[in-house]
């Protein structure tokens, strides 16, 4: 029977690291949000100005509920900013708004990794759902599951699922890093931020990037753990 123990420990370890990074990011965001920017521009105004500077006129900037729910939707070409970012007039809001506009710039320039990530989203969701269902079945009726299917089949399915998640995480890294590069470059040269504000924006985006690195490493290491399990099963 397959033991999820070691894999769960790996997952919990990286989940803990991810939560720590997330807490640090939220803490910094709250700290920076208390310092008004010199320009007085809100996240919405930053986004609209950046889009305009890049010659993008077919992307809307809208407000969405939640905290740090900011994202760019390539399907309807919208930069979605959380209420705090949309209305915020500080370096953290500017950084997040500019980062999401960085994705709009990628879309306008037909940046290949962004397209790859969009295509991988359904596969990533399906893989995560499969792994959750498999883990529940293992706890509820593991004996029946492994009597019904050869262990090699199950291991192959797990490896493929984690492989899809790892691939999505790997493709996500250059997409997020490139968007932050666009954001920081624009903030630095747009004349909308002081040197200190630029450094605060850079800190916020670097912390966000760290969370994606942690997610990618967790998925890759877990995938390799199950590959080793599969190799061990084949050698028996």
Domain spans, the chain: 5-231
Lateral strand order in the sheet of 71-73: 60-64, 78-82, 71-73
pTM over 0.95? The answer is no
Q: What is the predicted pLDDT for the residue at 14?
A: 65
Side-chain half-sphere CA neighbours of 187 within 13 A: 36
Looking at residue 29, what is its pLDDT? 75
Q: What percent of the chain is modeled with pLDDT above 70?
A: 86
Looking at per-residue confidence, does 139 or 179 come out higher? Answer: 179
Adjacent-strand bridge partners of 63: 81
| Greater model confidence, 159 or 230 | 159
- For the ranges 1-10, 143-152, 169-178, 180-189, the lowest mean pLDDT is seen at 1-10
What are the structure tokens assigned to 69, written together? 């729910």
CB of 80 within 8 A of CB of 62? yes
pLDDT at 169 over 50: yes
Angle at the Cα of 101 from the Cα atoms of 97 and 103, rounded to 5 degrees: 125
Q: What confidence tier does 59 reach under pLDDT thresholds 50, 70, 90?
A: very high
Q: What would the pLDDT profile of 174-202 be if each residue is shown by its tens digit? A: 999 999 999 999 999 998 899 999 998 99
Q: What is the mean pLDDT of residues 11-38?
A: 74
Binned at pLDDT 50, 70 and 90, residue 218 comes out as confident
- More confident: 80 or 153: 80
Per residue in 61-104, pLDDT (tens digit) is 999 998 878 999 999 999 999 999 999 999 989 999 999 999 99
Q: Are 94 and 192 in contact (CB under 8 A)?
A: yes
**DSSP letter assigned to residue 63:** E
Distance CA 41, CA 99 (A): 15
On whether the CB atoms of residues 79 and 61 are closer than 8 A, the answer is yes
């Amino acid at each position: 029977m397959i033991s999820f123990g070691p894999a769960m420990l790996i997952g919990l370890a990286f989940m803990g690291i991810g939560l720590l990074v997330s807490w640090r990011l939220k803490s910094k965001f709250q700290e920076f949000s208390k310092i008004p920017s010199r320009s007085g521009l809100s996240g919405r105004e930053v986004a609209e100005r950046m889009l305009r500077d890049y010659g993008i006129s077919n992307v809307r900037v809208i407000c969405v509920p939640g905290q740090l729910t900011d994202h760019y939707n390539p399907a309807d070409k919208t930069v979605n900013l959380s209420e705090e970012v949309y209305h915020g007039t500080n370096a953290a809001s500017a950084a997040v708004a500019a980062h999401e506009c960085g994705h709009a710039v990628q879309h306008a320039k037909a940046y290949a990794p962004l397209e790859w990530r969009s295509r991988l989203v359904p596969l990533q969701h399906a893989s995560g759902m499969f792994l959750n269902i498999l883990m529940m079945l293992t706890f509820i009726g593991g004996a029946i599951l492994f009597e019904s299917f050869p262990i090699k089949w199950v291991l192959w399915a797990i490896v493929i699922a984690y492989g899809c998640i790892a691939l999505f995480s790997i493709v996500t890294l250059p997409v997020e890093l490139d968007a932050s590069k666009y954001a920081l470059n624009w903030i630095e040269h747009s004349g909308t931020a002081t040197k200190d504000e630029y450094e605060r924006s850079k800190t916020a985006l670097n912390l966000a990037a760290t969370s994606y690195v942690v997610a990618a490493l967790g998925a890759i290491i877990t995938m390799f753990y199950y590959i080793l399990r599969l190799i061990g099963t084949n050698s028996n």
